[in-house]
């Protein structure tokens, strides 16, 4: 099995519009699918890739034009300054979990395995799903499930977890299912548990704040005419990406200059998100919720 089948590969690389002598950043290296395609067009240019997961070291590309930074993409600007790689011509981000992470049972990313609840992208992170379920207050758990899982029964789910852990620590996915299974809609259990794990994963890895930092830093480091290409997989991410590309703010309001003129820093190239074809979804079920948006620095 491959490390990761890249979603919307051709569409995203086409949107990046790679120039042979440009500087590009793949902020979610993963299995290297996007990076490999970028390097095919680069001649005397540079490619800098980011990934906080140490496992990606097995996919290292042996190429003088390529640099891998084993860090969260929220540190984009600092590392680009360190490597004297400013400004850049394009940034690409695939915000999905890699197939490798999902298929590795001990990482706890998949509902298919009864593994210990982990969900850390960076295994140096001290906060795991097991710790969140054991230590967060009932109110904090409610917020996590409501805000990051968009679960209507967040209050009941949090209360059930708080009650269960008084008797026995919730250690594995099966423990969690036993605690909250009564709130899963019949026939849609997998979707319910996927949302629960999504909420925990976003909280543990501080994904929303990291994405916000990435998007703001991207505006700063892109040259005029540079492209920002982002593939998102759930509404929380896509809303932030759409708003920043369309208006320059996460709230979706366009800032105006002293004279009342609108001055968004990016120009949206994709009026509607690009989504995978039925053929791609049939080949790779994990692509079904992907949305690709592309913008240009103005």
pLDDT digits (tens, 9 = 90+) for 178-194: 999 999 999 999 999 99
- Peptide linkage before 87 cis (omega within 30 of 0): yes
Tell which wins on pLDDT, 101 or 31. Answer: 31
Q: Which tokens in the block code for residue 65?
A: 């034009």
Could you tell me if residue 181 is inside a domain?
yes
119 domain-assigned: no
Q: For residue 71, is it within any domain?
A: yes
141 and 73 in one domain? Answer: no
Instruction: State percent of the chain over pLDDT 70.
Output: 94
Which of 146, 172, 204 is a domain's end point?
204
* DSSP 8-state secondary structure symbol assigned to residue 98: P
Q: How far apart are CA 63 and CA 46, in angstroms?
A: 10
What is the distance, to the nearest Å, from the Cα of residue 87 to the centroid of all Cα atoms in its chain?
A: 23
- Quote the CA–CA distance of 34 and 39 in Å, as a whole number: 9
207-221 helix and 189-204 helix, angle to the nearest 10 degrees: 60
Q: Give the pLDDT score at 69.
A: 96
Does 40 share its domain with 92? yes
Higher pLDDT, 106 or 289: 289
Q: Are residues 40 and 24 in the same domain?
A: yes
Per-residue pLDDT tens for 43-81? 999 999 999 988 887 788 999 999 999 999 999 999 999
Residues 48 and 192 in one domain: no
Say what the pLDDT of residue 286 is. 83
Domain count, the chain: 2
User: Of the candidates 170, 204, 238, which is a domain's last residue?
Assistant: 204
Same domain, 255 and 173: no
Residue 107: per-residue pLDDT: 55
- Any domain includes 106: no
Same-domain check for residues 211 and 199: no
Tell me which of 163, 185, 204 is where a domain ends.
Answer: 204
Burial of 6 (0-12, 13-18, 19+ CB in 10 A): buried
| CATH number, residue 189 | 1.10.150.170
User: Whole-angstrom Cα distance, residue 154 to residue 220?
Assistant: 37
87 with 56, same domain? yes
The answer as to whether 120 is a domain residue is no
The yes-or-no verdict on residue 105 having pLDDT over 90 is no
Task: List Cα–Cα distances, 163 to 78, 188, 256, in angstroms.
Answer: 44, 24, 51
User: Do residues 34 and 6 lie in contact, with contact meaning Cβ atoms separated by under 8 Å?
Assistant: yes
Q: Residue 292's domain spans which residues?
A: 9-99+207-297
* Per-residue model confidence (pLDDT) at position 257: 76
């Amino acid at each position: 099995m491959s490390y990761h089948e890249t979603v919307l590969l051709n569409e995203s690389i086409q949107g990046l519009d790679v120039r042979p002598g440009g500087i590009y950043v793949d902020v979610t290296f993963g299995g290297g699918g996007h990076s490999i395609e970028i390097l095919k067009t680069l001649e005397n240019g540079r490619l800098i890739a980011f990934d906080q997961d140490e496992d990606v070291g097995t996919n290292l590309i042996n190429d003088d034009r390529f640099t891998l930074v084993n860090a969260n993409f929220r540190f984009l600007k600092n590392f680009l300054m360190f490597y004297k790689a400013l400004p850049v011509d394009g940034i690409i981000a695939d915000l999905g979990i890699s197939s490798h992470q999902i298929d590795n049972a001990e990482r706890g990313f998949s509902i298919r395995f009864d593994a210990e609840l982990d969900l850390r992208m960076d295994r140096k992170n001290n906060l795991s799903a097991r710790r969140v379920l054991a230590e967060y207050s009932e109110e904090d758990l409610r917020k996590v499930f409501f805000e990051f899982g968009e679960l209507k029964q967040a209050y009941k789910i949090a209360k059930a977890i708080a009650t269960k852990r008084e008797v026995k620590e919730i250690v594995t996915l099966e423990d969690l299912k036993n605690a909250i299974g009564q709130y899963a809609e019949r026939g849609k259990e997998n979707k319910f548990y996927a949302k629960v794990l999504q909420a925990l994963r976003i909280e543990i890895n501080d994904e929303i704040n990291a994405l916000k930092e990435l998007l703001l830093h991207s505006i700063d480091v892109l040259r005029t005419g540079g492209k920002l290409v982002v593939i998102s997989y759930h509404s929380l991410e896509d809303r932030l990406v759409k708003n920043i590309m369309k208006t320059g703010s996460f709230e979706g309001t366009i800032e105006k200059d002293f004279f009342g003129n609108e001055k968004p820093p990016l120009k949206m190239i994709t009026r509607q998100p690009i989504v995978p074809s039925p053929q791609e979804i049939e080949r790779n079920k994990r692509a079904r919720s992907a949305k690709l948006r592309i913008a240009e620095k103005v």
